[in-house]
Structure 1
Amino acid sequence: MRLIHALSALGSMIVLTACDSSPQSTNVSYGCGALDVQATYSSEHVELKFGDQRVKLDAKKSASGALYSNQQRELEFWNKGSHAQLTIAGQAYPLCIDKTELPQQFSARGNEPFWLVHVNNGSASLRQPSGDRDYPQVDISKVSDTSDNTWEVKLKEDETLHISATVCQDSMSGMPYPFTAKLNRNGSTFGGCAGEPHRLITGVSWQLHASALEQAPSIQFMSDNVVFGYSGCNRFQGEYQLTGEGLSFKPLAATKMMCAPEQMDAEQAMFEALDKITHFTVGDNGNTLQLRNNEDTLLRFIKAS
């Protein structure tokens, strides 16, 4: 189900059913891909805020973590540690991660010279042309004297990886990543990017900027490579591909309604542009999305509220 319709169906308040598990923090800001979710926990319920919605849920019993569910509304929110999972109408949204914490698994990479660090639940590995190295146990700590969220991953005494929550653009492919990375090793510092690019665009509805139509065309990416949206007249869905080199769309299927000429013209222009997309960029603190053909921006979207 599309996020816009799912949120509208939820309304402003949902009351659910009962639980015995609670998170470590009272207020948590999650990033569920590009969807921002604010959770306020109490002993018996959680209030979620996402988009322009506020949703109050009572907890129910769960074998692990804390589960909040409403079968009638087809909504679930499951929390464990710094991670959570939001499901609307059977559609799992991108993994929700506490914005003050790093993902339990992530990769950081750089070019000239090439390096790759993979962190996995407290251990790490380094891959370089000069040789590989494994770190059975690493220490991850928050750096407090910075204006943004920054972490230090201590690989060993004189080797560290710094991660900051600022968008990074790969120096060779131009692909944007959600984190900026710096590897300090053997007295040298190597710059790079970290995280998964799909988290910059998935989970939220993007509306076409400066559309002249009464209802602006929109697009939504999900983490299972599914894409759907509204093209100005018809609804469409299909698949997208996101690789280390760029973004592309497989042939999209759409409904067959006929609309006013200006709607049909806007729809045709949007489908023609999507067929040419090779890259994407994000801006304005993640609130704008540009779909591009190499260096040319063909479609510009803003994050829907």
Structure 2
Amino acid sequence: MRLISTDFESRSRRLSMMRSRACDRSWHIWVLPFVLALSACAAVPDAPPAGRVLAGEHGVREEAFAVKLRCDDRVLTVGYAGDRMQLRAGDELFALRPVPAASGAKFEAEADPATTFWSRGERAVVTLRGEPLPGCRVVAHGSQAFRATGNEPGWRLEIYGPQLRFETADGSVRVFRRSGEPVASAGAMTWSLQAAGGPLTVTASDAHCADTMTGMPYPKSVRIDYQGRAYQGCGGEPAALLQGPEWRVEDIGGAGIVDGSRVTLRFGDDGRVAGAASCNRYSGAYELTGEGLTLGRMLTTKMACAPALMQQEQRFLGLMAQVRRFEIAADGALALVASDGRRIVARGN
């Protein structure tokens, strides 16, 4: 899976073509380097003790993190304790400090230079006590990270740990400040801060939102109030809408499904989708980008079943290969939409 890496330059360019406006070429975002660059530039006035600490002594709570990494079969997280960035590996926490790097953003543990974390866009190079961890990639953003975008005018918001950045595509608004802790209310989170141009308020509501240009669904509806203007858009990670529960298919291409048959989907944070195809089990890769969702070639078991089930299985797998995007309906149903508009409709168990 490729998690969404918002390319604001391309979004701005498409909007400019629609409105015959020039785009701002400074809007190319790479998610993880931005996360880490904030920490690399920030002062750390009240840092906790340096080096390796056991989880639970101090530092980020287990469920609070900015970025989750999967390195083959190991899961690591990068998060914040106040202004301090930390790497969690199992039951250990390593306090990180920035070090020079030719590209990306590189950190090492303060008490162990052989423990390093080097971001490379959606991938990272990680060593623990001198041991390289292979295949490290970003698989999720946690409660210490929040991103949102909007159109007409184009804008983006990124909050990572203690820092907030809000910018418009035309460059007329640029705010980069400490964000403080969000305030939780019924169905919403609110960040408030005093920027140079006046008070800025971000409200992220628990209401599904679809991008007005791409149709991509997001888990949050976002409103930003700044300098007498309200900016509307979508936020959170679209992957959060897909991953986790098992989806039970109710309809394949408008033809329903065979009574009593079982067709399911489960999207994992490892970039794999798997389930029951009617007769056989299947699994394969999926890719989620800023433009949509695609599914790779599915591998299946080789059982034989009744002809009706085998025919349904072929229809299901054939339609999956044509999926280009997904939607979440108001009632929570998932629709995988093919290039010709046909749909696979499923509901969470």
- Which category describes the TM-score, using the shorter chain as reference length? 0.5 to 0.7
Map residues 41-120 of structure 1 onto 2, 5 A cutoff: 63-65=54-56, 80=62, 82=64, 103-120=143-160
Any idea what the Cα deviations from partners look like across 1:118-177, whole Å, max 9, x if unmatched? 100020112323326353311343354xx5234234363422221111110000000000
Moved more, 206-215 or 170-179: 206-215
How many residues are aligned here?
219
TM-score, structure 1 length as denominator?
Answer: 0.64
C-alpha separation between the residues in 1 aligned to 2:340 and 2:193?
37
Q: Partner of 1:123 in structure 2?
A: 163
Task: Identify the match of residue 162 of structure 1 among 199, 203, 206.
Answer: 203
Using a 3 Å threshold, how does the CA distance of structure 1 residues 153 and 197 change in structure 2: closer, same or farther? farther
Q: CA deviation at 1:282?
A: 1.2
Structure 2: tracts of 5 or more residues without a match: 1-52, 78-141, 251-255
Q: CA deviation at 1:258?
A: 1.4
Task: Identify the match of residue 258 of structure 1 among 276, 301, 304.
Answer: 304
Q: CA deviation at 1:229?
A: 1.0
Q: Partner of 2:239 in structure 1?
A: 198
Q: CA deviation at 1:109?
A: 0.5
Q: Partner of 2:291 in structure 1?
A: 245
Using a 3 Å threshold, how does the CA distance of structure 1 residues 198 and 135 change in structure 2: closer, same or farther? same
Structure 1: tracts of 5 or more residues without a match: 1-61, 67-78, 95-101
Any idea what the Cα deviations from partners look like across 1:205-239, whole Å, max 9, x if unmatched? 11111632434110110122111111001111110
C-alpha separation between the residues in 1 aligned to 2:326 and 2:340?
10
Task: Identify the match of residue 319 of structure 2 among 248, 267, 273.
Answer: 273
Alpha carbons 1:142, 1:151 under 8 Å: kept: yes
TM-score, structure 2 length as denominator?
Answer: 0.56
Identity %: 28
Q: Does 1:292 align with 2:334?
A: no
Using a 3 Å threshold, how does the CA distance of structure 1 residues 227 and 65 change in structure 2: closer, same or farther? farther
C-alpha separation between the residues in 2 aligned to 1:272 and 1:165?
34
Using a 3 Å threshold, how does the CA distance of structure 1 residues 81 and 227 change in structure 2: closer, same or farther? closer
Alpha carbons 2:258, 2:309 under 8 Å: kept: no
Alpha carbons 1:137, 1:155 under 8 Å: kept: no
Structure with bigger gyration radius: 2
C-alpha separation between the residues in 2 aligned to 1:284 and 1:222?
23
Q: Does 1:136 align with 2:177?
A: yes
C-alpha separation between the residues in 2 aligned to 1:231 and 1:217?
5
